[in-house]
Structure 1
Amino acid sequence: MLLRACILLAALIPLAPVHAQSTARLTYLEGQVHVIRDTRVLAAAPGLAVAEADMVETAPGAYALLEFPDGLRLGVGAGSRLMLRTLTPRGKDGVRELALLGGWIKAQSTLPAGARDYRVAGPALALQWREASFILQVGASESAAFVETGRLRATAFDARGRAAAPTEVGGGRFIALGSDRSLASRERPGAAFVEAMPRPFRDPLPPLLARFGDRQIDGRNLGEADYAMVAPWLQGPQTWRSGLVARFTPRVRDPAFRQGLIDNLKAHPEWERVLFPERFLPRAQHAPPARP
């Protein structure tokens, strides 16, 4: 009900010119939402701009709406962890990639001609699309998605990260990835999926981005991220972790953060070189014995 009221309110507020929008923003918030930028934690505020590599985290009972200047709207349900991995495509076939470590999102988009695809990847399931509206749930061992309209390509990954052949999924179809990493498809989601789905996902996501114009809105700095807050990412899929070592290396100076890395080193062995560089020094070369 609160979201519907927000839509009506938006219709009464003078809108800034659409051409003024050049940044993705969090345009609507309920509850506690944090953004991890570099190594800092920000308390999100409506209108806060987000950038590549930002991590958006919603607390239990929270909800966030994220809007992009190309028209993509992304609802983020409670208890979700989302990273904006690549917003600037690289290479001829580059896509803009989001990583959903866990939780719920609803995506709604009609991308302009020439825009690159989006891809949202979970640990075991990735969806790629241009024009679609869908709801995705990523759980600890299972994932599921319902395509409301449009089409997308779904790709499952095995335990070693190897991709299966993509599956085309059209509007009205529901797909589920079980603990055995097999992908099943059927018409319409089951009752359990619908019951667990965040309530704001039952309605279309409202366009609120133009309300903020070019205003600069800052999030309150809550300090540096501790190990517990970023551990799920540092221990996530290996392909996601490569850029996180350099990003969070400055936090090794904090004794508690360092100890967290050491205690969980088996979950992210790439940190051993940072924590114990002496182990990787070349062995001293001994001079050959002198001739008599």
Structure 2
Amino acid sequence: MYLGKGTAAMIIWLHKHVRSVAARLLAAGSAVSFALMPGVRAEVPTVTLTLIPEAPVTLVRGTSTFVVEAPLSLHPGDLISTALTAGGARLEDSAGTVAALGPQTRLAVNPWPRPRRHGKPDPESLALLSGWLKVSHDDTKSINTIGVDTPALLVRTEDGAVVIHASSNETALFVETGHASTRPPDGSTQPMIVDNNAFLRRTLGQAMHEPSRPDAEFIRQLPLTFRDPLGVLPKRAPTHEPGATEAHQTTYGDVADWLTTRLPIRRTFVSRFQVLARREPFRSLVRSELKALPEWRKVLYPPHLPEPQRPSSTPPAEDSI
């Protein structure tokens, strides 16, 4: 059958394009530092995000929980928590990003792939559930933005340094150098640019106000280590897997606040943690919070397993007695 030059050319283009997309999807895997399929040439340098604990850090990877005390290469989806009082942690990558976590801070590496353009590595997308985070980004090594999701603000920056404090219903942002773009997670307003030395605080359900100077509460609570510029620490070879010390299967308490968060990463948790809901007490604890976790109903009560009916408060008819 004769296809014609135009049709043949299109088939060739589609074959190459689909093969390229498939190779990229398969290469993404579950690790930040990944390898492409054999025989496929890598077009973009890989980015390895390294956790450097200043005190023991709790890590949830997959469905296991570890205590990390040495540099570790992070994976997409990793959930990390710093200690309540002493010390925090640092994050560094090869795309020019340096970050500091304050005490009692909970942070995740978002698990979705980041776009890569013009042959330069792209920094990771982070999710700050609560606590303090300072991020410094060198735009000479990456042309793309680094993103930090918080419950009340989405923050994007291409250069400079920002300090973010987040809680379940409020986010405070200070741009130390450079500038940042912010918007509410629901996209209800257009992005707002926050310039050098400007401060913004937003509470859920309230409108975004114009940036101003940092308020007294923010300055008082700011960790002392965040007052100085972030420098790159001496290089230490990170491990790729956490040690088995103090490892255990993830409990409901390890991830309870993550399961109910407003952050976009929440939509990945049902498929990730549903295996835990096959056992007690995780299953019962999820069941007790179904009002806040409606997406878990299909896990607890799949179509072939009807949800138990509550006893009726209506008295039976007389003729049924």
| TM-score, normalised with respect to structure 2 | 0.73
SS of the residue 2:110 aligns to: strand
Aligned-residue Cα RMSD (Å) equals 2.5
Does residue 142 of structure 2 align to residue 111 of structure 1? no
- The amino acid across from 2:218 in the alignment is F
- 1:55 is displaced (CA, Å) by 0.5
Unaligned ranges ≥5, structure 1? 1-19, 282-292
Match of 1:191 in 2: 216
Indicate whether 1:38 and 2:62 are aligned. yes
**C-alpha offsets along residues 88-120 of structure 1, whole Å, 9 cap, x if unaligned?**
31488x984211111110001113455432110
Superposed counterparts of 1:8-157, under 5 Å: 23-30=48-55, 32-61=56-85, 62-86=87-111, 88-90=113-115, 96-112=124-140, 114-157=142-185
Counterpart pick for 1:270 among 273, 295, 308: 295
How much does 1:143 deviate? 1.4
Greater Cα radius of gyration, structure 1 or 2: 2
Shift of 1:280: 7.3
Give, in angstroms, the shift of residue 215 of structure 1.
5.4
- For 1:268 and 1:148, the matched residues in 2 are separated by 37
Cα deviation, residue 212, structure 1: 1.3
CA distance in 2, matches of 1:179, 1:278: 36
2:274 corresponds to which residue?
249
Q: Identify the structure with bigger relative contact order (alpha carbons < 8 Å, sequence gap 6+).
A: 1
Amino acid paired to 2:277: V
- Once the two structures are overlaid, the 10-residue window that deviates more, 231-240 or 48-57, is 231-240
The answer to which of 271-280 and 142-151 deviates more is 271-280
CA distance in 1 between partners of 2:178 and 2:289 (Å): 42
Q: TM-score, normalised by structure 1?
A: 0.79
Report deviation, 1:133: 0.2
Matched residue pairs, number?
Answer: 256
Separation in structure 2 between the aligned mates of residue 25 and residue 134 of structure 1, nearest angstrom? 19
Separation (CA, whole Å) in 1 of partners of 2:63 and 2:239: 24
Q: 2:151–2:170: 8 Å Cα contact kept in structure 1?
A: no
**1:171 matches 2:196:** yes
